[in-house]
Structure 1
Amino acid sequence: MPVTALPADVPVSSYGPDLDVLRRQDPEIADVMLGEVRRQQDSLQLIAAENFTSPAVLAALGSPLANKYAEGYPGARHHGGCEYVDAAERIAVDRATALFGAEHANVQPHSGSSAVLAAYAALLRPGDTVLAMGLPYGGHLTHGSPANFSGRWFDFVPYGVEPDSGLIDYEQVRELARGRRPKAIVCGSISYPRHVDYALFREIADEVGAYLIADAAHPMGLVAGGAAPSPVPYADVVCATTHKVLRGPRGGMILCGSELAERIDRAVFPFTQGGAQMHTIAAKAVAFGEAATPAFTAYAHQVVEHAQVLAAALAAEGFAVTTGGTDTHLITADPAPLGVDGPTARARLAAAGLVLDTCALPYGDGRGIRLGTAAVTTQGMGPAEMARIAMLFTLALDEDPERTARVRAEVRDLAGRFPPYGR
């Protein structure tokens, strides 16, 4: 299969360092990479957990730091020659603690799930009771799924949302906490579009003597930009990812107070992970630096504004938007009023170049759709584009090949006017 041609108007350097080297050395993998580049250019990335990193983040990811083995922590590595990667990790830690106002940060977790695993390892023992949002209401796999380590090692008690509003049922949380006396309470989800009342969760945790763990993988980028409340002043441990709205590399991080710092660090290494990925840690440092700028603050508020415009437009098109809207970058909706379920909607939208996910629906047997505005906002789109995207959703759900082709062409044109790189 021939190597995919690069778009003529976008420089090779926009796709990362040394792509020409890869094309000469391994055209088969280069073709896969450029196929993905073309997919990202020709469609709209509306998956709530995805974003476009900056060229600087990509440069760090493709750097010689990837060559360095660095088990341990700065100043206490199990390998020699770590003076420069030590500096990179110290910069990442300093920037993370300053950005989020935390006393301690561990930037080594390979993912959000790795961060949660380490938090549990630091605070819990197998068999302990943990209170977390139930998976049908938006909880993550690490919040007690039987397919995940969390559901096999701990006794998870799920809480849910109010049937009418779709908002977290805080009275249920309190009652369950009083009745089950959990060792920890987890707040956070993957498909809850409203702000979490961290102060109330803290109050409930204190009442029953539980640790409070905030799984803030989704909103942490908004927190960095001042567009969402921070869990840091309230939670004993905050777990997060560095991609999503934060626009960093794929990875995780943990924030905590100084009293838990040693337990968290030992839970990451050596308990749950080996050598740190130093190129990724350097890329995290770059992202934290970018997130500390006024431009990122403006971006974070734009992401929320665009999500609210898109949610309202989807509701006007006939989608049943859960909780009646959103406070964040994230929207969940039921397409059933338009005659399709979530998986069918996702497939038809994908055929038209509108890429998103499905999600569980509270108090329903089917699945809805989950989408976000972080990536399209990074591309420079605005409220007018959000309104048009909602209309394209409705057109794409009509199972008509000719109409799908027309929507696909418009999506390609829209994406082309707002390229993620090369602007």
Structure 2
Amino acid sequence: MSDNWNLQDDISVDDPEIYELIKKEKDRQRRGLEMIASENFASKSVLQALGSCLNNKYSEGQPGQRYYGGNHIIDQVERLCQARALAAYGLKPEEWGVNVQPLSGSPANFAVYTALVEPHGRIMGLHLPDGGHLSHGFMTNQKRVSATSVYFESFPYKIDPKTGLINYDELEANAKMFLPKVIIAGISCYSRDLDYKRFRQIADEVGAYLLADMAHVSGLVAAGVAPNPFEYCDVVSTTTHKTLRGPRSGMIFFRKGVRRVAKDGTKVMYDLEKKINEAVFPGLQGGPHNHQIAAVAVALKQAATPEFKAYQQQVKSNAQTMCTFLLEKGYTVVSGGTDNHLVLVDLRNKGLDGPRGEYILEEIGIAVNKNTCPGDKSALKPSGLRLGTPPLTSRNLKDDDFVKVMEFFDDAIHLAQEANKDCGPLLKDYKAKLHSPEFKDRVVSLKERVENFAIAFPLPGFEDW
């Protein structure tokens, strides 16, 4: 028996099977065009922090109040991350606090509900088919889909199907009837800016906390190119891996100080810090992932740079270019445009649906995701595609480059229309048609064009993996 625990071998030696899969994924990312709005490419320094020795340490509790010894360095890492988080959004520590321990966005949201809403208490979020998120309480007539809808009573607000915009008047009327404890201002596929001031007015009318889930736009907010939820909200949650371009993690910001002044002049203070911290730990999590927290700190430092602001400005510009192209080519863009990093394309006027559009694009090396559009009856067969610009902008694609990307997109959709003409309703028949001799060579040719274009743009991170 050897006493060599094999702990110093490179992954290529220790586990060549996983190493080869990682290399293949790296090659796929390099040769393809990632257009999924919730994705991005983390920097090399962020990935280095993720792969550091901080992974080894357990640190339940808050800095300075741990349940394990040996955490004096970990405390410094977490406090630095907290300080950088507040600085990134221009927040004063006497007015705001932040918990950087949530493992991702959905756990962060669930921690907020746990802290502020009693079991089966009431919340309101944007309806998932209208651009909301699962964690905002999605349910159907048949099933409580999200755990949020299982443990809390959720009532969705919706968009106006004619305009594709949030119907704030209807939200206000329903909030007055439903009386939620928390109103969520957040999106996963809504391309317009949120009116946080109007949300605040509605929340005040019904005595609700206002939670902004800025997961999708947190990088835009940090760069000052999107509306600032901190001006109006009580709590702000976010992921860190989308427009913020960090690791997969989450953060919860909470207000401190005076919440309101009562009629008798008494100051009613916020009491969010203890509730939220205890909801994260020990309520929902054990030890935080310290390597993630360090990587978040690295990303937050990057977010304070002029280069990051220029990046976010380009993200928005590229989205506008993408939207303009689609409209000029006769595509239906939900809400008629975009204010942020994403566009929702309704393919019904092209005789296609989301799954068919997603599949042909996947076949040529463009990654998007099918998405529900206003009026859809099923999330399993949605009408649209969600397109985002952050990943390709991180590869330094500019407006002219996005015109070329959208030409590939348009060529693929035309190919899909041809293949779908004589197909029935089954997706498998459509897929088979694309792989038939009639279409196979054309699909391969388009994929080669995409790859030849994509490889000219370097991929952030490590060279080979």
TM range (shorter): over 0.9
Residue 194 (str. 1) matches residue 206 (str. 2): no
Aligned residue type for 2:77 = A
Q: Considering only aligned residues, what root-mean-square deviation do their CA atoms show, in Å?
A: 1.5
| Structure 2 residue aligned with 1:404 | 443
Residues 310-346 of structure 1 deviation map (CA, whole Å, 9 limit, x = unaligned): 0111222232111111100011111222221111100
- 44, 49, 53: which one aligns with 2:42: 53
Moved more, 390-399 or 152-161: 390-399
Is contact 1:317-1:390 (8 Å) kept? no
After TM superposition, list the pairs within 5 Å mapping 1:3-402 onto structure 2. 21-102=10-91, 103-145=96-138, 146-258=144-256, 259=270, 260-365=272-377, 366-397=382-413, 398=415, 399=419, 400-402=439-441
Question: In structure 2, how many angstroms separate the alpha carbons of the residues matched to 1:32 and 1:402?
Answer: 27
Is contact 1:395-1:404 (8 Å) kept? no
Aligned residue type for 2:232 = Y
Question: In structure 2, how many angstroms separate the alpha carbons of the residues matched to 1:19 and 1:374?
Answer: 36
Question: In structure 1, how many angstroms separate the alpha carbons of the residues matched to 2:123 and 2:292?
Answer: 31
Question: In structure 1, how many angstroms separate the alpha carbons of the residues matched to 2:357 and 2:195?
Answer: 32
Is contact 1:319-1:336 (8 Å) kept? no
Moved more, 108-117 or 408-417: 408-417
Question: In structure 1, how many angstroms separate the alpha carbons of the residues matched to 2:236 and 2:250?
Answer: 11
Aligned residue type for 1:23 = S
Q: Counterpart of 1:152 in 2: which secondary structure? A: helix
Question: In structure 2, how many angstroms separate the alpha carbons of the residues matched to 1:401 and 1:395?
Answer: 14
Q: Counterpart of 1:371 in 2: which secondary structure? A: strand
Larger radius of gyration: 2
TM-score by length of 1: 0.94
Residues 234-255 of structure 1 deviation map (CA, whole Å, 9 limit, x = unaligned): 1111110000010000011111
Aligned residue type for 1:193 = S
Residues 356-409 of structure 1 deviation map (CA, whole Å, 9 limit, x = unaligned): 111111123343100100000000001111111111112112043222222211
Q: Counterpart of 1:190 in 2: which secondary structure? A: coil
Which residues of structure 1 form unaligned runs of 5+?
A: 1-17
TM-score by length of 2: 0.85
Aligned residue type for 2:135 = T
Is contact 2:32-2:451 (8 Å) kept? yes
Moved more, 390-399 or 345-354: 390-399
Residues 246-271 of structure 1 deviation map (CA, whole Å, 9 limit, x = unaligned): 00000111111123112111111110
Question: In structure 1, how many angstroms separate the alpha carbons of the residues matched to 2:67 and 2:334?
Answer: 50
Question: In structure 1, how many angstroms separate the alpha carbons of the residues matched to 2:8 and 2:155?
Answer: 49
Is contact 2:348-2:383 (8 Å) kept? no
Question: In structure 1, how many angstroms separate the alpha carbons of the residues matched to 2:119 and 2:147?
Answer: 10
Aligned length: 406
Aligned residue type for 1:240 = T
Q: Counterpart of 2:160 in 1: which secondary structure? A: coil
Question: In structure 2, how many angstroms separate the alpha carbons of the residues matched to 1:375 and 1:310?
Answer: 14
Which residues of structure 2 form unaligned runs of 5+?
A: 1-6, 139-143, 257-269, 420-438
